Amino acid sequence: MRKTTLSPIIAGTMNWGVWDKNLSPKEMENMIHVCLENKITTFDHADIYGSYTTEADFGKAFASSKIAREKMQLISKCGIQMLAENKSTKIKHYDYSKNHIISSVEQSLKNLQTDYLDVFLLHRPSPLMVADEIAEAVEKLKADGKIIDFGLSNFTTSQTELIHQKTEISYNQVQFSATNFEPMVDGSLDYMQMNNIRPMSWNPLGCVFRKDIPQTHRLKKLLATLVSKYHLGSDTLLLSWVLRHPAQVIPIAGTVNVARIQSLMKAVELELEKEDWFAIWAESMGEEVA
């Protein structure tokens, strides 16, 4: 059973560093405070973010903030091996050897300036992963107090079951939104509910504001009417759509816009009317439900 309680919405740090917003440690410190002030206490990391630099910058920000560790929850991931400065990797690949998993967690702890991760995830499935070896690493990390909960990211149901046979899985981070609703219809969210695995959703707004295609045209038209009805922004309504699913999906929001961060929790307080929820799904599909 899970031992960690995460905030209803998670702050995603992938774009905080050099990959996008290029926030300084001082700016990250301010962003941490803004998140905590708005009841977003969980922060999602991965070793590779910012080409292996964002964790360390966040760690400096956290140390400078003087915030008590128990006031926040830290998630990180490992497994993807990228080409980067000071790395000997010649081709992008995955590594889930016991030694690599343990050393990656230890490096993340050093970067984040903490003694433990609340949640540790395998970033993407590898055809070469050995479930027994993964389980050995996870059990050691738990026994040593370096991680509390273990989970996966972007794993299919069968891949999850493979690992689940060997060690407890508490989370699976998948792409889920009104425009990427496959986990809802391919059995993934059903499986997670049956096995007490909590889903996290990356890119929970989908491609609504990123692509100019018939699907997003339909959704924007509908959302305009719902904005008038609920007096909330389109992004808040889309997050509410994700949160309405009974699998208790936790969205990961990557925004660093203070006004948007301040409005995120309104999605938690709102429960979309059932017909509006289905209207969003129908417009995404381009047809009504069967």
Q: Backbone phi, then psi, for 63, in 5-degree steps? A: -60, -40
- What is the distance between the alpha carbons of residues 254 and 9, in angstroms, rounded to a whole number? 10
Handedness of CA 35, 38, 41, 43 (dihedral sign): negative
* Annotated catalytic residue, options 49, 96, 171, 191: 49
| β-strands 80-81, 93-94 pairing | antiparallel
Length of the chain, in residues: 290
- What is the distance between the alpha carbons of residues 69 and 53, in angstroms, rounded to a whole number? 21
Instruction: For residue 195, give the 3-state DSSP assignment.
Output: coil
**Contact 171/198 with Cβ under 8 angstroms?**
yes
Instruction: For residue 118, give the 3-state DSSP assignment.
Output: strand
Residues 6+ apart with CB under 8 A from 62: 29, 32, 72, 112, 113, 114
**Contact 245/180 with Cβ under 8 angstroms?**
no
Q: How many CA atoms lie within 13 A of 208 on its CB side?
A: 29
> Among 206, 113, 198, 216, which residue's Cα sits nearest to residue 160?
198
116: annotated active-site residue: no
Provide the residue type at 212 as one letter: D
Residue indicated by tokens 């990959």? 19
**Contact 238/277 with Cβ under 8 angstroms?**
no
**Residues tagged active-site:** 49
